Structure 1
Amino acid sequence: MNLLQGKTLIPNPHAPPHAPDNQMYTYGPPPIPFDAPGVLAVVENPKAANYPAGSKARYACNTFNYTYTSLLKTLHITFNGSPGQLGDAIGLMASLKLQALELMNIDLDNGLKAGPSFEYQPINP
């Protein structure tokens, strides 16, 4: 799929067997419709510090960032000699998804929704 082109990326039936990657595929049917009203109006380039101190958005963003940092640390441990930690990493991924969805349900004063900032945060304030 390619939303930018509005078309589906499909294998190019006319590409020679060893063609470069950019010739191995082409755009074709089915079209990918873009539903602009269905796009959630989330704040652009969010940062935890941009949410008011003590606000629900700041708290949720800090919690998200702490979980995100914990996930990065756990993945580092997993890929550097402790593969048994993969289950913990997967659990953190699920938590991160839920926290992001919760964050994007918070209305801001500017009419937008809060969003996750993916900032490194080793402690949870």
Structure 2
Amino acid sequence: MMQGNVSAVEHAEAVLAREAAKRFAPEYLWQCTLVTTVEPCAMCAGTQYWAHIGRLVYGLSERDLLALTGNHAENPTLDLPCREVVTNCVIDECFGHFGAPFVVVMEQVGACDHLLR
């Protein structure tokens, strides 16, 4: 797919992820790789996640794209400099806000397994 439309929310990566999610099972998509020239924006990365696409490969970072194109109105960039994710630091406090029934349901479906390791 190529970016060629004029919609601010129909980026090629997001369209591809949505179409893949319609056509393929999540188990298959977790084994797939989305390849694109430039680092996807936050919207496209989120769409890829929710579509269950397992891996992303890109050639040029958003920061590099900004350096190449400058602050150009037709090619807005959003450099998200955070590359480190900190997690599980306040699990008890977070679960406390949802209440005990939520935790029980999550445990029944195995959704908390990754938190219990």
TM-score between the two structures when normalised by the length of structure 1: 0.21
Q: Larger radius of gyration, structure 1 or 2? A: 1
TM-score between the two structures when normalised by the length of structure 2: 0.22
Higher relative contact order (CA 8 A, sep 6+): 1
